[in-house]
A and B are shown apart, each in its own frame.
Chain A
Amino acid sequence: MIRYLFWSIFTLILLFNYSIETKILEDIQHVSAIGYDYVDEDRIKGTAAAPFYPAGIDVQPLNAFFTAVGHTVLDILQKQQMESQRRLATGRLQNFLISKDLAKHGVAELTDPLARSTDIGRDVYMAVVDGSVEELLTFKYPNAPTSAQYLSDFMERNLKDIVPQPTVHAFLDQYGGFAQDPFLPIIGKKDDHIQYKGLALFKDDLYVGELSNKESYVFKLFYEKTKTGTYEIRFKNKKYIATENIRSKVKYKVSGSQDNPRVSVHVSVIGEVKDASSVLMKGNTMKEVEQEWSKETTKRAEKMMRKFQELKIDPLGIGEKVRSHFRNFDKEAWKDRYPTVPVEFYMKVRIVNTGITE
C-alpha cells in the first residue's frame, strides 16, 4: 500500500514540479550565421541571420536579419532579441563572421562566448569578411533562398576543401595554444556572390596580414595532407599547364640543437595534368612539368615563410613541431628565435596521369 502511495506521489511531484523551459523546435528562431562589424573603439555591430520558416508545406524560408550595436556579443544578442518575433537561439549556429576591421582590433572578446557556451557547437565555421559583414549577410543572393543557406553551403561544402578546417575548435585551439597562430579564411562579396579571397593571419587574436588565394593553396599543401586543389604552372614559352593534386603528404623534420634548430618541410604530391593545351605530355616533358611544379611551389612557400617570420607569426605550427622535438623546451627563447630559424621546403611531385589524352 505504502509502495503504491509512494509511487503515485512520486509521479505527481514529477508532473507538477518540473521547471525546465522547453525549447520547442519551431518556436525558436534559429540563428544560422552571425557576424560582427567594427563601429568604434568599444562598440561593435552584430548581424544575425536567422531565416524564418513560414507555416505550411513546401515553403521557402524567408530571409530575416537582426542588427544591433553593442559592447559585447551577449549585449548585442539581447538587443537583437528585442526585434525578433521568436526567441533567438544559437544552438544551430553554422557560421561566425568577423569583419577585417574588427579583426585588426582583436577578436578575443568575440570568441570567448563561443568557447564557453554549451549550446554553440565546436564545428561552427569561422571566417573573416573583407568589407562589411552586414552587407554580406543581408544581401539577397540569386543562387540560394537565403543568404545564410548560401553561406553555410559555401563554407561547409566548398571552403573546407580549400583551406584547413576553419572551425571554432581549430581557431580556439590555435589561439590558446603556444605553438601556433590562428588563421581564418577571408571571404567577401563580389557582385552578387560570395567569394573566397585568401587567408587572414592572426597574431594572438589580432589580424596582422593575409595570404592571397594562390598562396593559401600552397599554405594548405604545406600545412596538412590534402586531396584537392588545382594549380597552374607557368611553363616555358609562356604556356600554362593546370595540374591537379590527387593526394599529398607533408612531413616536418627538425634537426640541430635547441639553440640552433633547423626545420625542413617535405611535401610529396601525387598529381595529374588537367589542362595542357599545346604541350605534348611525354616522358621528358612530364619530368619537366614535375620539376617546374615543385620549383614554383617551393619558391612560393619560401616567400610565404619569410612573410611569416617577418610578422613573427607561426600559422604553420613550426613551434609545435620544434617543441615536440626537444626536451625541456624553452618557450620564451623560441619566441625570440623564431624569425631567424631556417626553414627549408622540399617538394616531390609525381604525375601519375594526364587525363585520357596524351
Chain B
Amino acid sequence: MPKNDSAFQRSELAKLLTACGESADFLTFSLYENSPFFIAYFKTLVKPEIIHHDILPIVKEEFSTLEEIKEKLLIEDLSITDNIPDIQDKLMTGNLIFYTKEGQPACLAVPAPAVEKRQVATPETEYSVVGPKEAFVESLDTNLNLVRKRLPIPELQVKELMVGKLSKTRIAVVYVKGIADSDNVNTVIQRIQGIEYDEIADSSFLSQMITDNKNSPFPQLVDTERPDRLAALLAEGKVAIFSDGSPTAISGPVSLITFFTAFEDYLSIWNVASAFRLLRLIAVLFSVLATSTYVAILTYHYEMIPRDVLSLLITSRGSIPFPPFLEAVLLELAIELLWEAGARLPTKIGQTIGIVGGIVLGTAAVQAGLTSNVLLIVVATGALASFTTPIYQLSNVIRLIRFPFILLAQLLGLVGVAVCFAFLMSHLLKLTSLGRPFLEPIYPLRVKDFKDSIIRLPFSKQALRPLQIRAKDRVRFQQEAPQKKEWDIDD
C-alpha cells in the first residue's frame, strides 16, 4: 500500500521524471516563463503535429489548475491522475504529461501517440487467388478494426489483457458472445493470465504458451493472417487471440482437419472445394509415408515390386553406393537444406537457390550416381505434397515426422512404418486443443461434423455449427423446410 502522502507522491514523480530524463528523447519544459505547469513527453512516442496544432497554441494562455487545461483541450480521453505507475504507462504509450512542481502531485495526461504502422496489405502465407485480399498488420487496433468491420455486432466482445513484464504486450481475446462456449473463453483467459514471461514478440509465443501439450510438434491452435478467415472462425464459435505487434491471430479450439482447410475452399463450389481438400489430405499422407515406404520396400520387401517396375528400379539403383536408407536421408536432408536456405532469403535470391538446388544439384546427383531418379521423384513429390497444406505450421510438422518414419522403415520395413504410424496415432489421439479432442470429427466420430472437415458440403447444409467447438448456439441459420414439388421433364 503506497503512502498517499502528497510529499511522497511528489518525490516519486520527481524520481520518475529523472529516470526518464536519462533518455535523450525525453523532453520536459515549462509552458512559458514562470508558468506553474510543465510538459513532459518522449518525443519519439508522440506525434509533433498534435503538439504543435492542438496543444501548444491552446495552453499559451494562463491557467491556474489542470482541470482548466483539460477543459480547453479539444482532445478526447484526457485524464488527471496521481497514480505514479499509471503516469509511467501513459508516458510510455505516447502521452504528454502536464504537471506542476508545487501543489497537487496530480498530472494531466494528454494522448498524442505517434503510431507507426504498416498499411493493410495482401496476405502472404495464406494467399488466395479469389476473395478478399487484406491481411492483418502489426497494430492491434487495426486488426480489431478489420474484424469488427466483418462482424458489426455488439456481441463481438474483446477482452484486453496485458502480458509480458518488459514488453507489456496488449493481448485481445475476441469472441462472439452467445455463440462461443464460455468454457473455452475462460480457459483461454486463464491460461493467458497464467503466462509468466518477460517479452512477448508475437502471437505464436502465446500459442506455444497456452497450448494443451507443449511438447507436441503439432500446432494445437490455428493461426491466420486473414481477417475473413478469422471472422469465419469467430462466427463458428471459436475464440481468437490477438497480440499487439503481431500480424497473425490465433484461434481455437481446432482439430487437425482445420489445418487442411484453406479459406479459398469456401470461395469455390463445394464439390470442387471438397475434391481439393481430399487431395490435400492424400498429399500429406503421401508426403509422410512415401519416402519411408520406398526405403522399406527396397530394403526388405522386394517381392512387392511388380515385374515391370522391378527392372526400372534395379537399373536406377544399380550404381548407387548407398543403401536406400542413406540415400533417402541424404536426399531428404538436401531438400530440407534448400527449404531452410530459401526461407530466410528474399524472394529473388530464394528463386535462384531453388533453381540451383533443385535442378542443378538434383540432376548432378542423379548423373553422379548418388541418388536414383526414382527416389528423387518420390522425395520431390513428397516435398511438393507437404506444401499443399494451407497452414504453414503444419507443413513444418510434416517435414519433421518424415524422419522417424524413414528410420523405422530401415529398422523394420513396412512393419516399422506401421509401428511409427501407430506411435503417431497414439500421440494424435491424446492431443487436445483447449481441452477438445484434436482428431475430431474422425475420433470421436461425429458424422455431422464431416460436413465441413474432410469434405465441404454446400452452405445450405451448414445450418449447424460443428460439435467440437461446443458452441452455445448451435444454429447458424434457420433452414427453411425444403419444398417438395412434383416435377416432370419439361414442366
Tell which of B311, B315, B323, B324 touches A57, judged by Cβ atoms closer than 8 Å.
B315
Measured in the bound complex, the distance between the Cα atoms of B412 and A311 in whole Å is: 52
Tell which of B298, B303, B314 touches A53, judged by Cβ atoms closer than 8 Å.
B314
Tell which of B305, B319, B369 touches A92, judged by Cβ atoms closer than 8 Å.
B305
- Residues on the A chain within 8 Å of B315, using CB: 53, 56-59
Q: Across the interface, do B298 and A55 meet the contact criterion of CB distance under 8 Å?
A: no
Tell which of B302, B369, B411 touches A25, judged by Cβ atoms closer than 8 Å.
B302
Interface residues on chain B, number (Cβ under 8 Å): 26
**How far does the Cβ of B366 sit from chain A's closest Cβ, in whole Å?**
8
- Residues on the B chain within 8 Å of A28, using CB: 302
The total of Cβ contacts below 8 Å across the A-B interface reads: 70
Is A1 at the interface (CB under 8 A from chain B)? Answer: no
**B374-419 at interface with A (beta carbon < 8 Å):** 411-413
- Residues on the A chain within 8 Å of B411, using CB: 14-15, 18, 20
Q: Across the interface, do B318 and A18 meet the contact criterion of CB distance under 8 Å?
A: no
Measured in the bound complex, the distance between the Cα atoms of B473 and A264 in whole Å is: 73
- Residues on the B chain within 8 Å of A94, using CB: 307
- Residues on the B chain within 8 Å of A156, using CB: 307
Is A257 at the interface (CB under 8 A from chain B)? Answer: no
**A1-35 at interface with B (beta carbon < 8 Å):** 14-15, 18, 20, 22-26, 28, 30
- Residues on the A chain within 8 Å of B316, using CB: 57
Measured in the bound complex, the distance between the Cα atoms of B137 and A77 in whole Å is: 72
Is A177 at the interface (CB under 8 A from chain B)? Answer: no
Tell which of A20, A53, A121 touches B318, judged by Cβ atoms closer than 8 Å.
A53
Tell which of B297, B302, B311 touches A61, judged by Cβ atoms closer than 8 Å.
B311
Is B17 at the interface (CB under 8 A from chain A)? Answer: no
Per-residue contact bits, chain A 46-58, to B (CB 8 Å; 1 contact, 0 not): 0000010111111
Is B299 at the interface (CB under 8 A from chain A)? Answer: yes
Categorize the interface residue count of chain A.
20 to 34
**A119-150 at interface with B (beta carbon < 8 Å):** 119, 121
Q: Across the interface, do A24 and B307 meet the contact criterion of CB distance under 8 Å?
A: no
**How far does the Cβ of B2 sit from chain A's closest Cβ, in whole Å?**
44
Q: Across the interface, do B313 and A25 meet the contact criterion of CB distance under 8 Å?
A: yes
Is B459 at the interface (CB under 8 A from chain A)? Answer: no
Is B300 at the interface (CB under 8 A from chain A)? Answer: yes
Per-residue contact bits, chain B 4-33, to A (CB 8 Å; 1 contact, 0 not): 000000000000000000000000000000
Q: Across the interface, do A92 and B303 meet the contact criterion of CB distance under 8 Å?
A: yes
- Residues on the A chain within 8 Å of B313, using CB: 25-26
**A55-107 at interface with B (beta carbon < 8 Å):** 55-59, 61, 89, 91-92, 94
**Majority secondary structure, B binding face:** helix
Closest chain A residue, CB of each to CB of B318: A55
Measured in the bound complex, the distance between the Cα atoms of B313 and A22 in whole Å is: 17
Q: Across the interface, do B302 and A30 meet the contact criterion of CB distance under 8 Å?
A: yes
Given contacts A25-B317, A26-B317, A53-B318, contact A152 B307 (CB under 8 A): yes
Measured in the bound complex, the distance between the Cα atoms of B310 and A51 in whole Å is: 12
- Residues on the B chain within 8 Å of A119, using CB: 303
Closest chain B residue, CB of each to CB of A21: B300
Measured in the bound complex, the distance between the Cα atoms of B122 and A37 in whole Å is: 77
Measured in the bound complex, the distance between the Cα atoms of B135 and A337 in whole Å is: 89
- Residues on the A chain within 8 Å of B373, using CB: 57
Measured in the bound complex, the distance between the Cα atoms of B298 and A23 in whole Å is: 8
- Residues on the A chain within 8 Å of B297, using CB: 25
**How far does the Cβ of A269 sit from chain B's closest Cβ, in whole Å?**
33
Given contacts A22-B299, A28-B302, contact A53 B323 (CB under 8 A): no
Measured in the bound complex, the distance between the Cα atoms of B96 and A198 in whole Å is: 107
- Residues on the A chain within 8 Å of B299, using CB: 22-25
**A169-205 at interface with B (beta carbon < 8 Å):** none
**How far does the Cβ of B378 sit from chain A's closest Cβ, in whole Å?**
14
Closest chain A residue, CB of each to CB of B408: A14
Q: Across the interface, do B318 and A91 meet the contact criterion of CB distance under 8 Å?
A: no
Closest chain B residue, CB of each to CB of A90: B303
- Residues on the B chain within 8 Å of A18, using CB: 411-412
Tell which of B305, B317, B318, B412 touches A54, judged by Cβ atoms closer than 8 Å.
B318
**B31-80 at interface with A (beta carbon < 8 Å):** none
Q: Across the interface, do A25 and B319 meet the contact criterion of CB distance under 8 Å?
A: no
Measured in the bound complex, the distance between the Cα atoms of B324 and A121 in whole Å is: 24
Per-residue contact bits, chain B 83-108, to A (CB 8 Å; 1 contact, 0 not): 00000000000000000000000000
**How far does the Cβ of A44 sit from chain B's closest Cβ, in whole Å?**
25
Measured in the bound complex, the distance between the Cα atoms of B412 and A59 in whole Å is: 32
**How far does the Cβ of B46 sit from chain A's closest Cβ, in whole Å?**
52
Closest chain A residue, CB of each to CB of B407: A15
Given contacts A26-B317, A59-B315, A152-B307, contact A89 B323 (CB under 8 A): no
- Residues on the B chain within 8 Å of A55, using CB: 318-319, 369
**How far does the Cβ of B292 sit from chain A's closest Cβ, in whole Å?**
15
- Residues on the B chain within 8 Å of A14, using CB: 411
Measured in the bound complex, the distance between the Cα atoms of B324 and A72 in whole Å is: 35
Measured in the bound complex, the distance between the Cα atoms of B407 and A15 in whole Å is: 9
Given contacts A24-B298, A24-B323, contact A92 B310 (CB under 8 A): yes
Closest chain B residue, CB of each to CB of A28: B302
**How far does the Cβ of A64 sit from chain B's closest Cβ, in whole Å?**
13
Measured in the bound complex, the distance between the Cα atoms of B301 and A201 in whole Å is: 36
Measured in the bound complex, the distance between the Cα atoms of B314 and A54 in whole Å is: 9
Q: Across the interface, do B311 and A23 meet the contact criterion of CB distance under 8 Å?
A: no
Interface centre among A28, A53, A56 (most CB of B within 10 A): A53
Q: Across the interface, do B314 and A26 meet the contact criterion of CB distance under 8 Å?
A: yes
Measured in the bound complex, the distance between the Cα atoms of B318 and A20 in whole Å is: 23
**How far does the Cβ of B408 sit from chain A's closest Cβ, in whole Å?**
8
Measured in the bound complex, the distance between the Cα atoms of B306 and A152 in whole Å is: 12
Given contacts A55-B318, A55-B319, contact A92 B300 (CB under 8 A): no
Q: Across the interface, do B302 and A91 meet the contact criterion of CB distance under 8 Å?
A: yes
Measured in the bound complex, the distance between the Cα atoms of B417 and A89 in whole Å is: 24
Measured in the bound complex, the distance between the Cα atoms of B410 and A20 in whole Å is: 10
Measured in the bound complex, the distance between the Cα atoms of B320 and A320 in whole Å is: 54
**How far does the Cβ of B130 sit from chain A's closest Cβ, in whole Å?**
44
- Residues on the B chain within 8 Å of A89, using CB: 302
Q: Across the interface, do A22 and B412 meet the contact criterion of CB distance under 8 Å?
A: no
Closest chain B residue, CB of each to CB of A51: B311
- Residues on the A chain within 8 Å of B310, using CB: 25, 30, 92
Q: Across the interface, do B412 and A92 meet the contact criterion of CB distance under 8 Å?
A: no
- Residues on the A chain within 8 Å of B311, using CB: 51, 53, 61
Measured in the bound complex, the distance between the Cα atoms of B300 and A91 in whole Å is: 11
Closest chain A residue, CB of each to CB of B413: A20
**How far does the Cβ of A351 sit from chain B's closest Cβ, in whole Å?**
38
9 closest Cβ contacts across the A-B interface?
Answer: A55-B319, A91-B303, A55-B318, A26-B317, A53-B314, A25-B298, A25-B302, A18-B411, A22-B299
13 contacts between A and B (CB under 8 A): A18-B412, A22-B300, A24-B299, A24-B324, A25-B302, A25-B317, A26-B317, A30-B302, A30-B314, A57-B315, A57-B373, A58-B315, A89-B302
Given contacts A14-B411, A92-B307, A152-B307, 14 further A-B contacts (CB under 8 A): A18-B412, A20-B411, A20-B412, A25-B299, A26-B320, A30-B310, A53-B311, A54-B318, A55-B318, A56-B318, A92-B302, A92-B310, A119-B303, A121-B303
